[in-house]
Structures are given as C-alpha cells and as structure tokens.
Structure 1
Amino acid sequence: MLSQFRSRASDSGALSVGVLGVGNIGTVHLKSALAMPDVAVVAAADAVPENRERAERAGVERTYDDYAALLAAEDLDVAVVALPPFLHAEAVERAAEHGVDVFVEKPLARSTEEADRMLETATQAGIAVGVDHTLRYQPDMVGVKSAYEDGSVGHVPYASITRLNDGPLGRPPADAAPPSWPLDSDAVGGGSLLELGVHCFDVLEWLFGELEVRAATTGHTLDIDVEDAATVLLRAPETGTTVTLHCGSYQWEELPEVNTRLRLEGITGTITNQEHLPEHFYASAARAALENVASRVGAADRTVFGPTFYLQAHYDALADFVGAIRNGEEPPVSGRDGRRSLALAERAYDLAAETTATEIELPEVRP
C-alpha cells in the first residue's frame, strides 16, 4: 500500500524547517533542528521580541513576529509547532494551506473535537502530522520496554506511573509574572492531565496497547483555573494489566532528578525505569544541564546544541519525524497517537467530574 505522504527523498539539499514559537520548548526544538544533518532551519517566528533575538543568536537568519507570515513567505518542508495549545489548530491549518508537514508540541490539541478537525484538514491537504510525545524516546523507558518484551518478569498484572513537574507559576521567589495562557483553561484545554498525563498515556499504550480509563480524580493544590493533580485508574485489555497513573504540577522540580517513575510488577519480578538510567546519569546530566542553561542566555548560543537526558529525547523524536518525512512515511508518533492520548484524558475528566477520590478502589499490591 502506498503512503499518502509525499517523499522528500528525491529533493535536493537539506529539508527546510521553520520553527513556530521560540519559547522554552521551542528553543529546544530549534537547537535540536540546528544540530541535525541535512536539515536547514530557515526561519523562526515568535510574537515576543526577546524570543526572536534568541533564535537569531542561535543562527537563524530570518525571524517573523507572526507564524502565518512565516508560512506564507518561506518555502518549507516542515513546520515545528511550538506555540501555546490554543494556536495549534490554526497553525496546522495554515501549514496545510502551504503543503507543509507539521511536528506539533503536545498536547496535539485542546480536545478530541479540535484534533479531529486538524487531522481532517491534514488528510485533505496530504500533509503529515507528528506529535512530540517524548517519554518513549527516553533511554530509561526504552530499557523498560526491552526488559518487558524479553519476558524476564513474565505477565505484568499491575503497573504504576507518576510524573511530577513544576507548576505553571514556577518556583518561588518569582522574578517575573508567568504567562497568562497556562493558567487559562480555555487556552490550554486543561491542567496536569493535558500537560503531563498525555505523555503517560502515550508511553503506557506504547507498552501495553490500547487503554481503558476505569476511574479518575483531579485536584487543586493551588487556587488556579486548571487542575494541578490527577490520579487515573486504567486497564489494558490486551495484556490484562491494571495501571495507576498520577500526574501533578505541584512539586518543584530539581534537575537533573528524573521526574517520571514507571514500575511494572511482573509475576517473577519488577522492572523500573530507575534501573535503566544511563551510566553516570546524574553527574553527566547535571553538567549538561548547566551547559545548556549557559548556552540559552549567553554568547554561546551559536555553539552546537548538547542535549541533556530530556533534551536528547526531544531531539530523537524530531529526528524520527524528519526521517519519516524524508522517506514519505507516516510519522512514528502520529496525529492519531496524539488524538488517542487526548481521548483518554477526556474520559478521565468525565469520570473525575462524577467520581470522588474516596470512591476509587485501587488493587492491593504487596511489596
């Protein structure tokens, strides 16, 4: 069966890439693309002057204050959409008008309804949509999957995953007001479940196949418009695995601590992601994190991007997408995958609205 996507393999020269949004994660994607062979970052767009200046210091020749203007003016193969969630749909629609494939920061959209419109637009235009679900690219998660698939712990009746990050307000003392959109439920579609939970849903389905949400609860530790904690009970029918998921944006992140804990309880043993961290992880990650922070704010912006543990996963995800585009293949983490994670989050929201935490019965697991 022929792919619906056109191959770029016969095109001469490097794939031309534009980065839409050069905030925190946009900078990661920008520097990842700049470090890739046979990729040319020809332009970047951001409404914030300081972010455009950052892109220029990194070596981007042309910057725009409007992503639509960039898409209209540049001849692109790929657009990286690193804009706030409320702009994802419009950006994909504009890219589709110009026949540009898109790599979209998670969550793909604010709802499955919005995602369906985006994917229909992409299908009609014949463009590919990829999503930046990076947990499956982290070496500790790859190690868990490999150990699980080799059957060393046998059947896995129970698993658990926890992902915690800094909240949208950041850690005190605050030296500047946070952006308003992460605190606006209309702009982001939700809180921790869409910011962090979708990553967990994606990696769990990567491990166990399609999931069913059985129960959920959400909570607020801060007086903000979106939830900053959520706990979800899931079932994987294909493997007969029960999974508990907890995500929250209430804990101050201490880099280079790994902010995701995954544990598989097999009948002959246990697999955890901590067992599969790279050798000398903490020493090397701390050093690389400092180097990356320095490169973002100083004259070293023109140096080659040196990914840390987390940034390497973003690099690999984008590189995988670029490779698929070059060969006319469906992205390894497609728009359908992003839509599936959204559907699980929506089901969790629905159940949380009608279920209290005390009504959730979790399976007993002995240590």
Structure 2
Amino acid sequence: MTPPLLNRWTDSSALSLGILGVGNIGMVHLKSAAAMPSVEVVAAADAVPGNRERAERAGVSRTYDDYTTLLSAEDVDAAVVALPPFLHADAVERAAEAGVDVFVEKPLARSTDEADRLLETAREADIAVGVDHTLRYQPDMQGVKAAYDEGSVGHVPYASITRLNDGPLGRPPAEDAPASWPLDADAAGGGSLFELGVHCFDVLEWLFGDLEVRDASMGRSLETDVEDAATVLMAAPETGTTITLHCGSYQWEQLPEVNTRLRLEGVTGTISNDDYLPANFYADAAKSALSNVASRFTSDEPDVFGPTFYLQAHYDALADFCEAIREGERPPVDGEVGRRTLALAERAYELAAEADETDGTADDADSETGGPADDRGTPEVTR
C-alpha cells in the first residue's frame, strides 16, 4: 500500500489537536498533548457535560457536545479519537471530510470489515491513521525487545504473555454504574480479547513477526454478552516460536502492580519484562496514588498523568504520531497494524467457536460472544 502523502502540515507553529472523547483515556491523551512541545490542544468534544468540564479545567478553551461539530467548527491538524469503538469509523469518516489526520484508540474498529472501510475512507481523503497500541512503548517491553534483538538468550522456542485487569465492572463495592458499551458485543466488538488481547498481539508481532493463530478458547465468569477471559495458542513462523496468550478482565486489579507478564524462554536463558521494570516504579506510583487521594479532599483535579510507568507510554505513542505528522511520514503504529490485531482476534474467535461446536458446549449466550460481525449498526449506548 502506498503511504499517504503527509505534507499538508507545513506551518512552523504548534500542531493543533482536537480530542474527540474526554473520558478516562481521552483525558490521558489531552494531558499528554498539553505537556508536549509544539502541540496545542485547541478543542475537545464529549457528550457528557462532566467530561467537558474536566477538559476545560485542564486548560482546553473550547469544548463541544458532539465531535462532528468540533471537526466542522475547528481548523485542526489532527484529532485523537478516544470514543467507544462503535464510533471510531464514523469519527474517522468525519475527520476525513475535514482533511484531519487521526490517532485512534484501540481497537481500531469492531471488525476487519469495518477497519477496511475505515482505512479506505482515510486513503481516499489522504489522511494518516495512527493507533494507540501502547504496550510496545512501556520500558519493560522495550527492555525485552532490546535483549531479544541482541540475541542474549539465543533462539526462543516458546514465549508467553498474560494481561489481566478488573475490566469495566471495577472492584466491588461499585461507586458508580459502569458504562454500558464495554459489555455490549455490538458496541465494543468483543470482550477481553478486544480490550486487552489486541495490545498483546501487537507487541508479539513487534517481537516475532507475523503470527498464526492455532487454537483458542473463551470464557466468562459472569453472565455478560462478552468474554472476560481468552486463551490463544499461536506460532511465529519466521522465528519458529510457539506462543501462548492469556488475557482477562476478571481479576481485581491492584495498582500499581504490573498487570502484564511477558516471558521469552530461550535456549540459553529466559527474558522477562519483570527484569526491566524501572527501579523506582513502585515508589513513584505510590507517591502518585497518595497525591490523587489527597486531591479528592482539596477539590483539586486528580493527576491523570501518573503513575508515569503506564501513562508515559501513552504520551510516547501520541508524541510519535504527532512527530510523524509533522515530518510528513507514516505513523509508526498505523492503521494497518491496528487492522492486523483485529484479524488475529477474529481468527481466535472463530477457532474458539469451532471448538465449542465440536465439544457441544456452545449455547445461545456463548454464540453471541464469538467475535465481531461483518456489519454493525450503531447501538444505543450510554457512555
């Protein structure tokens, strides 16, 4: 595929950015961009009044209740799409109409079919598409890759990755009702495999090259429309590595504990991401957590930008995208990368569904969690 011609941005002033969606991850992107040199957040959009108020307190001068209005009213160079997955394709289409490059939260879309339409729209409008796959930007993952690329353990016959958190329901007792869209298969595209697994697919292909999904199983600990656990067996033909991936949103997350484990079992030793955690990680995270607790009593805005171990990765991913746009280059993690992770997830869903049919364990509820459909409507979802 021919890279888009990214030569529209020639002004020497700051790259202007619009943030489409300023919930939790949208605020991370907003505060990341605000801390970047030569980047200016000029506007933000969100359907929730409280989210718009938070954006204004963070220094955004103009906010809108609809992203289409922002894209029509503002002359921005790029937009961050931090909306629920069922809005990604429409947001990119609106951005394409305005000639605005986009940095899209993962998953890029709810299916490869939807991703293909999204990317074709972007190509026709000659806009760039970046995807927020941040796991590869974490220092522990970069340490693993550097050690592997140096050949420190030789050939790696086997690798494993696990990524767990507490998902959309959070830890009990629940203080607020969760957003409905993460538990809606049509709105989200899938469950844990879409929310967490796509990050794992991305970092594994970053390490080992193209992957082939050989087997998969899905599970649910609660009666929801989406899986909260997924286990996938893969092979990396280029390196001759067998890989297992497990992700789930069933575990009560204990921040600042690291929720991703990656191990490469080489012929001369093991590489683990635990070996590359920053020395001051827990101290810095604990300090940030205490600061956020204190802010609740002083009415100050919590520091969304800490602990830096996790959120610095979001900063670096967005900074790389902005730099690529500024330099007229293709984003380092682009739409084709995002589509590839969706293709792997879809294959895993297919194999899991086939296994259920063979075992005779599939029921009506399970059949609804078999992954993304080819055509999606826009569900009624409260954000």
TM-score, reference length from structure 1: 0.94
Which letter maps to 1:136? Answer: R
Aligned to 2:337: 337
Task: Say if 1:289 and 1:319 are closer, same or farther in 2 by CA, change over 3 A.
Answer: farther
1:231 aligns with 2:211: no
- In structure 2, distance between residues paired with 1:2 and 1:110: 24
For the residue of structure 2 that corresponds to 1:355, the secondary structure is helix
Which letter maps to 2:19? Answer: V
Matches for 1:21-36 after TM superposition, within 5 Å: 21-36=21-36
* Greater alpha carbon shift after TM alignment, 245-254 vs 296-305: 296-305
Which letter maps to 2:113? Answer: E
Percent of residue pairs bearing the same amino acid type: 77
Residues 133-185 of structure 1: CA deviation (Å, up to 9, x unaligned): 00000000000000001111000000000000112211110112111111110
1:189 aligns with 2:189: yes
Deviation at 1:281, TM superposition (A): 1.4
**Contact residue 292 and residue 302 of structure 2 kept, 8 A:** no
**Contact residue 3 and residue 328 of structure 1 kept, 8 A:** no
**Contact residue 291 and residue 303 of structure 2 kept, 8 A:** no
TM-score, reference length from structure 2: 0.90
Matches for 1:1-367 after TM superposition, within 5 Å: 4-7=4-7, 10-291=10-291, 300-301=300-301, 305=305, 308-356=308-356
- In structure 2, distance between residues paired with 1:320 and 1:290: 30
Superposition CA RMSD, Å: 2.1
Deviation at 1:312, TM superposition (A): 0.3
Deviation at 1:296, TM superposition (A): 8.9
**Contact residue 168 and residue 183 of structure 1 kept, 8 A:** yes
**Contact residue 104 and residue 131 of structure 2 kept, 8 A:** yes
Task: Say if 1:152 and 1:317 are closer, same or farther in 2 by CA, change over 3 A.
Answer: same
- In structure 1, distance between residues paired with 2:235 and 2:145: 18
Which letter maps to 1:43? Answer: A
For the residue of structure 1 that corresponds to 2:96, the secondary structure is helix
Deviation at 1:243, TM superposition (A): 0.2
Task: Say if 1:139 and 1:109 are closer, same or farther in 2 by CA, change over 3 A.
Answer: same
For the residue of structure 1 that corresponds to 2:284, the secondary structure is helix
**Contact residue 44 and residue 55 of structure 1 kept, 8 A:** yes
Aligned to 1:364: none
Which letter maps to 1:341? Answer: T
Deviation at 1:6, TM superposition (A): 2.3
- Equivalent pairs, count: 359
**Contact residue 27 and residue 304 of structure 2 kept, 8 A:** no
Note the residue ranges of structure 1 that are not aligned, 5 or more in a row: 360-367
- In structure 2, distance between residues paired with 1:84 and 1:220: 22
**Contact residue 196 and residue 247 of structure 2 kept, 8 A:** yes
Deviation at 1:279, TM superposition (A): 1.0
Deviation at 1:297, TM superposition (A): 9.3
- In structure 1, distance between residues paired with 2:54 and 2:296: 8
